[in-house]
Structure 1
């Protein structure tokens, strides 16, 4: 399945007011579905779906939303994605690196299992979320940046040894004793 869907038609989205008028015309005035769809410039199957929705909830018509629902395939709700985002930001602040993309995908799978959320079968095969889910999640949460941490240079890692740390501590002690700094100055 491609991640970015390329639109194959030049059809524009239908405004909720126009969709509501078309549904009322089909249901209340007994107009033909196909004729009404052509009149309002709406796809006939889309209009049919909204008419069926209207007929099912005839006793409570205020409950129907005439806005298109693009979040039908979204795994987590907005509040759950916010929790994941907060956790990722907290973990990055705690250890300067945060989680890698693979660790984030594994975390999403564990999060879904702990919250009894239905996931696609390919999540269960690899015990992690798909890369497409991660790309969508990152596009919805632009305040996140998952990057591979840079490796520490060889000179920095070899310079961090017992002798150098002890030498630094001795120099620091000498400076603190000679200048008589109090605890508020450190």
Structure 2
């Protein structure tokens, strides 16, 4: 499936107002074929819509996996996690969408083998939720994020004591290549927020 789909047919190109006018035109005593020619709506469509008494716009394509409320909940969760310095990567969001659909028994077309939603779903999700974008956050030391205060230092040394009591280390360990600043990778976060 192409990433940017281009419409190939004129199917369903009529408007709701055209359909209402055509049905009224038929109710006024005109034929279905005359209404079809006048309002540029296929004859069979007019017959079916008249029989079902439906004048709404047709839904073309696949049915959406999530409702707008469910997508809003997913969107707000992504924003919240990025605000607390735990931004999700694109693959993590795709996995979260799969898990959300599975746990709520929502019918989906996601890959059960990979246990994640597809790239096309993610692109559509980002297009529908314009406040989220793919970002490369600034690499920040964990100490700056958590704050360097008495409580945090006490927790650090308590954990360090537990680790040293369980494992015997050789002295003079080489610390070359060990950094406290990690490369965060690309995440999904609120647009325009540092």
Larger % of strand: which? 2
What is the CA–CA distance in structure 2 between the aligned matches of 1:133 and 1:28, rounded to whole Å?
Answer: 45
2:119 is equivalent to residue 131 of structure 1: yes
Q: Check whether the contact 1:50–1:66 (CA below 8 A) recurs between aligned residues.
A: no
Task: Quote how far apart the aligned CAs of 1:72 are.
Answer: 4.9
1:48 corresponds in structure 2 to 44
Give the TM-score of the pair, scaled to structure 2.
Answer: 0.61
Q: CA deviation at 1:18?
A: 1.6
State how many pairs are aligned. 148
Alignment partner for residue 93 of structure 1, among 83, 95, 99?
83
Map of 2:16 onto structure 1: 16
Structure 1 residues 53 and 13: CA distance shift in structure 2, 3 A = closer
Query: Can you give the 5+ residue segments of structure 1 that lack an aligned partner in the other structure?
Result: 170-186
Aligned-pair CA distance for 1:92: 0.9
* 1:69 aligned residue (26, 39, 59): 59
Q: Distance in 2 between matches of 1:71 and 1:92?
A: 33
Distance (Å, rounded) in 1 between the aligned partners of 2:49 and 2:56? 10
The reply to whether residue 79 of structure 1 matches residue 69 of structure 2 is yes
- 1:144: Cα distance to partner? 0.7
Q: Is the 8 A contact 1:100 1:147 kept in 2?
A: no
Distance verdict in 2 for CA 1:14–1:53, change over 3 Å: closer
Q: Hey, what's the Cα distance between the residues in 2 that align with 1:40 and 1:21?
A: 8
Inter-partner Cα distance in structure 2 for 1:84 and 1:40: 41
Say which SS state the counterpart of residue 146 (structure 1) adopts: strand
Conserved 8 A contact 2:32-2:46: no
The Cα RMSD (Å) is 3.4
Cα 1:99–1:50 change in 2 (3 A) is farther
Q: TM-score, normalised by structure 1?
A: 0.63
1:75, distance to aligned residue in structure 2 (A): 0.9
